[in-house]
Structure 1
């Protein structure tokens, strides 16, 4: 009987680990200032199929604060010279190939999902890709931890903390390691045996794919009604 990594749909999927760093202006949605991605496929073993990163210039209403610089090391001067959201996210969006099966992977995927949705005009393809959240997957695979923050999970699996933690490329790299460890546990314990089962546990629909409420539109009666 096959396990998760033997599932054909799982093997046909490209898992794109994604992370944003963002400023959070008062009264406005978070604004991305850095993005990183790392793409993985499994075919008997994990293969990295691509990676990328870019700084992103924040709008004037979302300035870089001293606290943000202290956490990430990113300065206002660096970000003033960065590509615009349209440039950075547009370039990322063009890397997704039509007809390929993708799932985004993120720690606390709601954060990434909301940032992408707010920027969807710049990355329409990315905004339609559903997500996997490593937190509910970790809760299923390693129950009973004190919490499921990234640092806690890294410590549990013995994954070294990167020197530049809280920068998108570093966080993507360790989240990718975490994801691979969780998939190994899910495969070995036999609780998840298919991509569909994985999505049921850890999936999150992209906000851009949310169904439209029919009652918002007037539906013309059909003949005979």
Structure 2
């Protein structure tokens, strides 16, 4: 039985997510844009089950810098009237259906996981959702690439660079395409026979789900 035939794999909704951020000195990264694309594998066929994208107004201590604008094209003027992180992430959180198993998918998931963790009060359900990181999955399946940046994966799979690369909605689309190519390769991998093996290889536990470490000795 291949990976995509595993009932646990098919029961899961995979939400590919991408943030663009600004990184103020002394503070964690603050989101300025988010995009999410939900996918399910039903009878071996992938179906899109939801899509969301929004600009996000950063707090005053985290203004958009010229470097941010150079990378994303986003300006302070564009974000001035955007909804707050609480509004955007709260709305995204409410789209997750209780009782449905989800797995967030991201390229270099530590970035997305960090943003969500610091916004957990606005998106508690999202903050308890574990991640699948495309980088360790690609390292396992394609061991000889020079690096595992998204652009390298796109080139390897022959996926066209989007004109708006480094905008969340464009990056989430190509990340989803790369993820589906990786799943196709995983279906042929004798080590990735089921959902549990996939998570063991490329999973990242959400910080909210990690056990609290206690001190070994009282001081």
- Give the equivalent residue in structure 1 for 2:35: 36
1:104-142 Cα deviation digits (max 9, x unpaired)? 000000110000000001100000000000000000111
Tell me the matched-pair count: 216
In the TM superposition, what are the counterparts of 1:7-26 in structure 2 within 5 Å? 7-26=6-25
Consecutive unaligned residues in structure 2, runs of 5 or more: none
> How many Å separate the matches in 2 of 1:79 and 1:156?
34
1:160 aligned onto 2:160: yes
Deviation at 1:214, TM superposition (A): 4.3
In the TM superposition, what are the counterparts of 1:1-225 in structure 2 within 5 Å? 2-43=1-42, 44-215=44-215
The list of structure 1 runs, each at least 4 consecutive aligned residues, that deviate by more than 4 angstroms after superposition, is none
Q: Which moved more, 1:97-106 or 1:182-191?
A: 182-191
1:74-98 Cα deviation digits (max 9, x unpaired)? 1101111100111111100000010
> How many Å separate the matches in 2 of 1:190 and 1:16?
25
The structure-2 alpha-carbon separation of the partners of 1:63 and 1:39, relative to structure 1 and needing over 3 Å to count, comes to same
Deviation at 1:215, TM superposition (A): 4.5
CA RMSD of aligned residues (A): 1.2
Secondary structure, counterpart of 2:187 in structure 1 = helix
Secondary structure, counterpart of 1:147 in structure 2 = coil
Deviation at 1:213, TM superposition (A): 2.8
> How many Å separate the matches in 2 of 1:171 and 1:207?
24
> How many Å separate the matches in 2 of 1:187 and 1:106?
19
> How many Å separate the matches in 1 of 2:151 and 2:190?
26
> How many Å separate the matches in 1 of 2:212 and 2:112?
22
- Give the equivalent residue in structure 2 for 1:222: none
Deviation at 1:191, TM superposition (A): 2.4
Secondary structure, counterpart of 1:19 in structure 2 = strand
Secondary structure, counterpart of 2:59 in structure 1 = coil
In our comparison, the structure showing a higher alpha carbon Rg is 1
> How many Å separate the matches in 1 of 2:72 and 2:207?
28
> How many Å separate the matches in 2 of 1:24 and 1:60?
12
> How many Å separate the matches in 1 of 2:190 and 2:50?
29
Consecutive unaligned residues in structure 1, runs of 5 or more: 219-225
Q: Which moved more, 1:64-73 or 1:112-121?
A: 64-73
Provide TM-score, normalisation by structure 1. 0.94
